[in-house]
A and B are shown apart, each in its own frame.
Chain A
């Protein structure tokens, strides 16, 4: 009886922690997918004027705005998991477009050989169980997505 009273809370705490970790992984996967999809959509937008002029592929001039808009849209589908509004997260994201190649990314130091869109964001995700266990109730996930046509 005593053993049960002692171990039951520990088991419940452990179970809650495991469930919270699983939920966090799911949230991280969804946030990463949101960034990937937004980068793909932005890269898929070709500059038609440049194409008609030179025949080469360059990103559309509004590639950054397109990436930010779709990042917010995708995040909004997981709004219950987020620690802040999707629009705010997308607005704060560091999104860069490199219309012409080659280009160097000052943030990551990477070299891009084709037109590229890069999304770097810090996404707060709710972790209420962790908060109840004396950890932080919001966990920030760093996401980096890079896309280019090849």
Chain B
């Protein structure tokens, strides 16, 4: 038995031959192409911080104008390129705080009721040998308020009349002057020219804007927060209910394609309405990334018997 097994093993050993398979991991280097000698870049590419753009409009000054009861907070700019760059740090709504409060060289104003104005913080850069160097932060105010609102004492969620809170009017967006650069006499930063954005709320996707609606108690309603530049509608990226009584809402935040669906099962006090305030976010090449607030008053009515 042992002899037979040894014979079989010997026969198999004699019949063996090397396999001619291709070895993908073999590194003989024989067929490697000659390495091309690369020339150094004449101007090495320096990646800018995300969101940075070339400034074409320069900050001039903060402007506060009053027309009747309307006070507008805006920023003036001059169309000028100084070779500097900028990027958006934060866009804040009326009364909202920001991590950059106090860091802007031009400060941030307050409305008549003490709330901070809405606007956008920009950081200014100059391109040096070591890359983009931040030189300053500027705040572009963009807000408005109605004087009549200051006389009332708003009750959270319930106001005695439909009113428009201090809303971000869309003043043409500016640029900023860097205050601290020493290499240049004036370092200016600007954002792209941005058109005014008008927030609107409607009950159907293509419906007209409404400031107040009357609803039957318990009946569902869909509200569409929308944004317009002039007469043209721009895409709403998202919306969020930031104040007011949202009722039995399905969602309090959503994308622009989704309406705000809710119903109210309770009534406001006699003579009062529910004010619902939306924060609408738009982010298009034309408008840039911005947020605007829109409010709608809701009068909830309940069918009752008249005796």
Binding site for B on A (CB under 8 A): 36, 39-40, 43-44, 46, 48, 51-57, 110, 112, 114, 116, 145-150
Contacts and interface: CB of A to CB of B under 8 A. Distances in A.
Interface of B: 202-204, 207-208, 210-216, 219, 299, 301-306
A145 B299 CA distance: 25
Q: Which 8 pairs show the lowest CB-CB distances between chains A and B? A: A57-B214, A149-B301, A55-B213, A43-B303, A52-B203, A146-B306, A55-B210, A52-B207
Contacts of B211: 55
Binding site secondary structure of chain B: strand
23 contacts: A43-B303, A44-B216, A44-B219, A44-B303, A48-B203, A51-B203, A51-B215, A52-B203, A53-B207, A54-B210, A56-B213, A56-B214, A116-B306, A146-B305, A147-B303, A147-B305, A147-B306, A148-B304, A149-B301, A149-B302, A149-B304, A150-B301, A150-B302
A150 B304 contact: yes
Q: Which of B216, B302, B304, B306 has the most CB of A within 10 A?
A: B306
A36 B305 contact: yes
Given A44-B216, A56-B214, A57-B216, A149 B203 contact: no
Contacts of A40: 303-305
A40 B302 CA distance: 9
B305 A46 contact: no
Contacts of B214: 51, 55-57, 149
Given A44-B219, A51-B203, A57-B215, A149 B210 contact: no
Contact of B303 (A53, A55, A148): A148
Nearest to A114: B301
A52 B304 contact: no
Given A52-B208, A57-B214, 15 more contacts: A44-B219, A46-B215, A51-B213, A52-B203, A52-B207, A54-B210, A57-B301, A112-B306, A145-B305, A146-B306, A147-B304, A149-B216, A149-B301, A149-B302, A150-B302
A56 B216 CA distance: 11
A97 B86 CA distance: 63
B204 A52 contact: yes
B261 to A, nearest CB: 14
Contacts of A147: 303-306
Nearest to B201: A55
Given A46-B219, A149-B216, A39 B305 contact: yes
A16 B299 CA distance: 53
Q: Which of B202, B208, B215, B303 has the most CB of A within 10 A?
A: B303
Nearest to A37: B305
A82 B191 CA distance: 78
Contacts of B215: 46, 51, 57
B197 to A, nearest CB: 22
Contacts of B216: 44, 46, 57, 149
Contacts of A52: 202-204, 207-208
A148 B207 contact: no
A57 B302 CA distance: 11
Contacts of A36: 305
A11 B194 CA distance: 94
Q: Which of A36, A48, A116 has the most CB of B within 10 A?
A: A48
B201 to A, nearest CB: 10
A53 B215 CA distance: 13
A150 B267 CA distance: 10
Contacts of A148: 303-304, 306
A74 to B, nearest CB: 14
Contacts of A39: 305
Nearest to B297: A55
A128 B282 CA distance: 74
Nearest to B218: A44
Nearest to A39: B305
